[in-house]
Amino acid sequence: MTHPYQKMKDMTKHKKHYDNYEDDGMHFRQPWAFGVEDEVRRLRMEVNDMAEEIAKLKRIITSTSRP
């Protein structure tokens, strides 16, 4: 059985091809792709905010639990 993230790792190897996308008139990005990108960007910001809050709470807990 392969690791669950192995497929994602394999996809990132080929990501550079998609990062160099140029609008040459022959390729068309699907309209829904823009919505997905916006949603992913929003979710990443939300996760980062939660990580900051967790880190802050962890510091509070560890500082108050010491005698």
The tens digit of pLDDT for each residue in 25-42 reads 666 667 888 889 999 999
According to the model, what pLDDT value does residue 31 have? Answer: 81
Q: How far apart are CA 47 and CA 41, in angstroms?
A: 10
- Please give the tally of structural domains in the chain: 1
According to the model, what pLDDT value does residue 5 have? Answer: 59
Q: How far apart are CA 22 and CA 59, in angstroms?
A: 46
Domain that holds residue 56: 4-65
| pTM across the whole model | 0.50
Higher per-residue confidence, 26 vs 56: 56
pLDDT in tens, 2-21: 665 566 666 656 555 555 66
